Chain A
């Protein structure tokens, strides 16, 4: 692209004193494009390569045929989730947009389920077919027999459709397979989730940061990783509890390679040390908490000596960590973590983490956790009528008293299989490869077999999508609008997703697909009234922001919403039953659960077996990005991490191909073994999301292995219904 001297001078003038700047100063998309002479457009939007919703700016140029091409993605400096920077995945959004393997047209299945035979049809045909089938199913089984499973933005629009039809059977994998367990535990303790857009951890100001099951850097949550690096650079003490020497562990001043499954023992021991050495924040505990005496009594049994044996950690390290937390309190934080579905007693572990933060006085304190931003968003539903009451009570919370509104995917799955208490015969699968997201994929297959209609709304032909009867292809985030987003960082604000270019293929935004289906189902009052942008403008008005500003800047802040720390005139509000931080939970006691967390040992591996652990890579988001050229190139497959001494005993060399067989004789492989000092001897580790079975994903197909296939067992958390998945064991079989 040519730059005129005039434009260059403009930039030079904008960068103070001639110093270089991260990117051309981004005040507005319009101004920036004008400064560059009109050959280029900049479109501020929100990234969807993961769920952090970073503010991104797409740079769009014309190719030689005059067609718009997205040439680069950059971080939006105004946006708190990206702070001007995008991670590898964010940079590689272009790879998803131009992926030749994308779903490009609506399709209806012609062959047997799962054999991949489809005919391409028009949108009208696909939608008419879907609506007719739904009507048949509803006539026969009632509206409650229509359901949805989702992970991601299409879910919002199909929630509207499914609720309008009169069903409440909607479940998001983000609850039972991920952070719902933690959210419920923190709500029981503080009356708040530990965050919505991001965890409210004040990392950049922390003196001591405890990471327990959080491998920041490998789970690339952009703004949080930026702050973590800043904390490391500032010399904050990082205490990393992980059976594996993660990237975060490599940044830690204290790495605690804990025996898997014993985390709650460590947390309760820390609480005991802090209380018995009187290192807790006494005034804070007095003012804001209830149940301190019961807590004190309950944790007395957890001595450092006992803990050292239970966790396989040096007693001195356990004590040192607790004392460091006490010494620097309240400018310390125990990161709440995200994926909490580990061992089936996970809500109590999350409670222990919340309680530890509470007694250190970290909630609402500098270097601890900031208080929820004070952004008042009026509710906005664009004048849709109230949804009809579900014809029958939804099944999605099972018998779990603290299951959240996001629902339990595995309970929905069980209901589809058993038909009890009533049949569920139609399933929308929105933006999730269920077979990779849920434990026990054989049960998922069984559920799919029991459906009369499965509809996939997705971008990529995942194995799950290619089981569907109808495929309704969504366009990528760079080709569509979504609603405005609430962004809740230290400040509250509003973000936007808007198209950088027109859809490349016969794909549609999920809001359009769901809205058209509403019309076909005779629910016009729940369809989009006029245009989507007109709706977004009404949403902006309801939220008190100027739409044009959000569209031009990509993000606007709600003024005065940032009140991070407790002061005399900024007191925290705890939305618990008692209105205080509940160290002792009467709500749990009422449901016959331990009101103060107790440690329960977890079953370990048999001789010759290893516990299967899984995690994230900074260049991939679950199974969704593996086929992206730019990310696939960096990490085309996963490998299984094995301790060096164990490898020697098994006669295995680094990079050798092996197979893995689990306790139920399920085998996956071949996969390369990574022989390393970076993991304990009793477990193996792999990055989740690989081993795609869909041959349409040409790059990703059968590269690496799928951990979920080995996760044939899961242990359900009795409080929340979360599915603990780290309860599977594998043995390693040498390839001949």
Chain B
């Protein structure tokens, strides 16, 4: 069984939002909700400035607080490492939304269940990458099987220094951000 991870090389993100719209179309997401976003942060004073473009989405944590808090078992961990929501079991109590340190969950108002990035589980089953990765103009987003030593993601994680978001909360995210520039492999 693969262990799916996403790796993001922020140096190559041009903030074009192709990922955001691809996700919305692929997953037919209602107005005002997003499963992924690109946050642009600028630091410094004119003319010495630095920018961070940060793609954010569900981290599919190895130790996910949303799963731990879910009273019905709707939020659960699957064998492939992804965190998924069983819509039939979800009662819309929002406990997971409060528990998630990454602010990536929302309530699907039409149907009343919690929702978030699934790593495009339906596409994975077809052998396709998530929609955001497939369309990423800068090839900033990479996706694959961490356990496969030949996959791009495992090579990139082996050969470059990386970080995860909010490591201090102990969630063990499966979305990695590359520190090294230029990136190897």
Residues of A bordering B, CB below 8 Å: 3, 8, 11-12, 14-15, 17-24, 71-75, 84-92, 94, 216-217, 220, 222, 225-226, 228-230, 232-235, 245, 247, 250-251, 255, 257, 618-619, 629-631, 633-634, 643-645, 676-680
Chain B 123-135 near chain A by CB (<8 Å), digits 1 or 0 = 0111111000111
For B144, list chain A residues within 8 Å (CB).
19-20
Cα separation A680 to B12 with both chains bound (whole Å): 26
26 pairs, A vs B, C-beta closer than 8 Å: A8-B127, A15-B127, A23-B128, A24-B127, A73-B25, A84-B134, A85-B18, A91-B18, A217-B15, A225-B137, A228-B14, A229-B140, A230-B139, A232-B12, A232-B138, A233-B183, A245-B46, A245-B47, A247-B14, A250-B42, A618-B16, A618-B17, A618-B18, A633-B24, A644-B46, A680-B46
Contact of A225 with B16 in the complex, beta carbons under 8 Å: yes
Does B167 touch A at the CB level, under 8 Å? no
For B140, list chain A residues within 8 Å (CB).
229
For B117, list chain A residues within 8 Å (CB).
none
Contact of B9 with A87 in the complex, beta carbons under 8 Å: no
For A251, list chain B residues within 8 Å (CB).
11, 14
Contact of A24 with B128 in the complex, beta carbons under 8 Å: yes
For B9, list chain A residues within 8 Å (CB).
233
With both beta carbons as reference points, the residue of chain A lying nearest to B130 in the complex is identified as: A20
Contact of A8 with B126 in the complex, beta carbons under 8 Å: yes
Contact of B18 with A233 in the complex, beta carbons under 8 Å: no
Question: A678 touches which one: B42, B126, B151 (CB < 8 A)?
Answer: B42
Question: A92 touches which one: B12, B21, B124 (CB < 8 A)?
Answer: B21
Question: A633 touches which one: B13, B16, B32, B47 (CB < 8 A)?
Answer: B32
For A230, list chain B residues within 8 Å (CB).
12, 139
Q: A85-B134, A255-B47, A630-B21 are in contact. Are A233 and B139 (CB under 8 A)?
A: yes
Does B96 touch A at the CB level, under 8 Å? no
For A15, list chain B residues within 8 Å (CB).
127
Contact of A643 with B127 in the complex, beta carbons under 8 Å: no
Contact of B135 with A86 in the complex, beta carbons under 8 Å: yes
Q: A233-B182, A630-B25 are in contact. Are A87 and B16 (CB under 8 A)?
A: yes
Q: A232-B11, A251-B14 are in contact. Are A21 and B129 (CB under 8 A)?
A: yes
Please name 14 further chain A to chain B contacts, defined as beta carbons within 8 Å, in addition to the given A12-B127, A217-B15, A233-B11, sorted by A numbering.
Answer: A14-B127, A19-B145, A71-B25, A75-B135, A86-B135, A87-B16, A222-B137, A226-B138, A247-B53, A618-B18, A633-B24, A634-B20, A634-B21, A677-B49
With both beta carbons as reference points, the residue of chain A lying nearest to B140 in the complex is identified as: A229
Does B74 touch A at the CB level, under 8 Å? no
Chain B 148-185 near chain A by CB (<8 Å), digits 1 or 0 = 10110000000000000000000000000000011100
Contact of B46 with A643 in the complex, beta carbons under 8 Å: yes
With both beta carbons as reference points, the residue of chain A lying nearest to B151 in the complex is identified as: A19
For B20, list chain A residues within 8 Å (CB).
88, 634
Cα separation A21 to B21 with both chains bound (whole Å): 20
Q: A216-B14, A235-B182 are in contact. Are A87 and B126 (CB under 8 A)?
A: no
Cα separation A233 to B9 with both chains bound (whole Å): 9
For A84, list chain B residues within 8 Å (CB).
134
Cα separation A631 to B144 with both chains bound (whole Å): 29
Nearest-CB distance from B8 to chain A (Å)?
A: 12
For B181, list chain A residues within 8 Å (CB).
235
For B39, list chain A residues within 8 Å (CB).
none
Contact of B129 with A20 in the complex, beta carbons under 8 Å: yes
Contact of A20 with B16 in the complex, beta carbons under 8 Å: no
Contact of A94 with B25 in the complex, beta carbons under 8 Å: yes
Cα separation A211 to B133 with both chains bound (whole Å): 27
For A91, list chain B residues within 8 Å (CB).
18, 21-22, 25, 135
Chain B 3-47 near chain A by CB (<8 Å), digits 1 or 0 = 000000101111111101110111000011000000000101111
For B12, list chain A residues within 8 Å (CB).
229-230, 232-233
Contact of A634 with B143 in the complex, beta carbons under 8 Å: no
For B11, list chain A residues within 8 Å (CB).
232-233, 251
For B137, list chain A residues within 8 Å (CB).
85, 87, 220, 222, 225-226, 229
With both beta carbons as reference points, the residue of chain A lying nearest to B139 in the complex is identified as: A229
With both beta carbons as reference points, the residue of chain B lying nearest to A217 in the complex is identified as: B14
For A630, list chain B residues within 8 Å (CB).
21, 24-25
Nearest-CB distance from A230 to chain B (Å)?
A: 7
- Please list the 5 inter-chain residue pairs (A to B) with the smallest Cβ-Cβ separation, ordered nearest first: A229-B138, A217-B14, A250-B51, A235-B182, A618-B16
Question: B125 touches which one: A8, A23, A225 (CB < 8 A)?
Answer: A8
Contact of B26 with A676 in the complex, beta carbons under 8 Å: no
Nearest-CB distance from A82 to chain B (Å)?
A: 10
Contact of B134 with A22 in the complex, beta carbons under 8 Å: yes
For B136, list chain A residues within 8 Å (CB).
85
Give the interface centre of B24, B126, B134, B143 by most chain A CB atoms within 10 Å: B126
Contact of B25 with A257 in the complex, beta carbons under 8 Å: no
For B50, list chain A residues within 8 Å (CB).
250
Contact of B14 with A677 in the complex, beta carbons under 8 Å: no
With both beta carbons as reference points, the residue of chain B lying nearest to A629 in the complex is identified as: B31
For A645, list chain B residues within 8 Å (CB).
46
For B16, list chain A residues within 8 Å (CB).
87-88, 217, 220, 225, 618-619
With both beta carbons as reference points, the residue of chain B lying nearest to A618 in the complex is identified as: B16
Contact of B15 with A20 in the complex, beta carbons under 8 Å: no
Cα separation A218 to B91 with both chains bound (whole Å): 42
With both beta carbons as reference points, the residue of chain B lying nearest to A313 in the complex is identified as: B47
Cα separation A89 to B126 with both chains bound (whole Å): 25
Give the interface centre of A89, A235, A250 by most chain B CB atoms within 10 Å: A250
For B44, list chain A residues within 8 Å (CB).
677
For A233, list chain B residues within 8 Å (CB).
9, 11-12, 138-139, 182-183
Contact of A22 with B129 in the complex, beta carbons under 8 Å: yes
Cα separation A3 to B121 with both chains bound (whole Å): 13
Cα separation A644 to B44 with both chains bound (whole Å): 12
For B26, list chain A residues within 8 Å (CB).
72
Nearest-CB distance from B94 to chain A (Å)?
A: 23
Contact of A87 with B15 in the complex, beta carbons under 8 Å: no
For B53, list chain A residues within 8 Å (CB).
247, 250
Contact of B126 with A11 in the complex, beta carbons under 8 Å: yes
Question: A20 touches which one: B24, B47, B124 (CB < 8 A)?
Answer: B124
Contact of B125 with A3 in the complex, beta carbons under 8 Å: yes
For A14, list chain B residues within 8 Å (CB).
127
Contact of B127 with A20 in the complex, beta carbons under 8 Å: yes
Contact of A247 with B15 in the complex, beta carbons under 8 Å: yes
For B182, list chain A residues within 8 Å (CB).
233-235
Cα separation A283 to B145 with both chains bound (whole Å): 51
With both beta carbons as reference points, the residue of chain B lying nearest to A634 in the complex is identified as: B17
Cα separation A634 to B21 with both chains bound (whole Å): 9
Cα separation A89 to B135 with both chains bound (whole Å): 12
With both beta carbons as reference points, the residue of chain B lying nearest to A13 in the complex is identified as: B127
With both beta carbons as reference points, the residue of chain B lying nearest to A7 in the complex is identified as: B126
For B14, list chain A residues within 8 Å (CB).
216-217, 225, 228-229, 247, 251, 618
Cα separation A678 to B41 with both chains bound (whole Å): 11
Nearest-CB distance from B29 to chain A (Å)?
A: 10
Give the interface centre of A20, A84, A676 by most chain B CB atoms within 10 Å: A20
Nearest-CB distance from A83 to chain B (Å)?
A: 9
With both beta carbons as reference points, the residue of chain A lying nearest to B13 in the complex is identified as: A229
Nearest-CB distance from A215 to chain B (Å)?
A: 10
Contact of A226 with B42 in the complex, beta carbons under 8 Å: no
Nearest-CB distance from B154 to chain A (Å)?
A: 11
Nearest-CB distance from A25 to chain B (Å)?
A: 10
For A619, list chain B residues within 8 Å (CB).
16-17, 21
Nearest-CB distance from A157 to chain B (Å)?
A: 30
